Amino acid sequence: MAKKSKKQQPGGTPATVALTAAGVDFTVHSYDHDPSHPSYGEEAAEAMGVSAERVFKTLVADVDGALVVGVVPVAGSLDLKALATAVGGKRAAMADPTLAERTTGYVRGGISPLGQRRRLRTVLDASASSHGTICVSAGRRGLEVELAPEDLAKLTDATLAPIARA
């Protein structure tokens, strides 16, 4: 069962600290992470009782030698060619997980587009704008933040583009 909180929790993550500092409306959802679940994102959607189209995963890719963040619904997958096109690149591949963790400051399954150690160029799937709010990782497994997609795009300086595949 997911727990909700609108207030900043003591010992918040860099993502929740960034949201609080920006004065953005957001809700924290926490749930007990099951390490045996096959998908972090689907687990989050199930635990929160939220449609998988409204829960977005944060994926780090290498586009022509530069790390780029793609934020897509957990119900689909990242279209690497579309991501490369969205940032004016030619080739994209998923980034090495260790490099993604070291660069963002988060662990796999808990990488947030917000509050990263080194802010990476971000592309948010265009489908996000069809929802009043979306959920993204709050910076650790079992913790999500729900916020308006416009706020996420503004805080990450994201490009909106169709980068998800069903």
| Blockwise average pLDDT, block size 10, the chain, 166 residues | 45 91 95 84 88 95 98 95 98 97 94 96 98 96 95 98 95
E-strand stretches of the chain: 3-5, 27-30, 56-63, 66-73, 77-78, 92-94, 121-125, 134-140, 143-147, 159-161, 164-165
Give residue 103's pLDDT. Answer: 97
Yes or no: say if 131 and 147 are a contact pair by the CB < 8 Å rule. no
Give residue 74's pLDDT. Answer: 93
d(CA 149, CA 159): 12
pTM of the full structure: 0.90
d(CA 21, CA 149): 17
Yes or no: say if 68 and 104 are a contact pair by the CB < 8 Å rule. no
Give residue 79's pLDDT. Answer: 98
CB contact burial 71-108 (16+ within 10 A = b; e otherwise): bbbbbbebbbebbbbbbebeebeebeeeebbebbbbee
Give residue 10's pLDDT. Answer: 47
For 166, residues 6+ apart whose C-beta sits below 8 A from its C-beta are: 75, 76
Taking each continuous run of H as one helix and of E as one strand, the counts in the chain are 5, 11
Give residue 1's pLDDT. Answer: 45
Q: How far is CA 150 from CA 19, 45, 62, 144, in A?
A: 13, 21, 25, 17
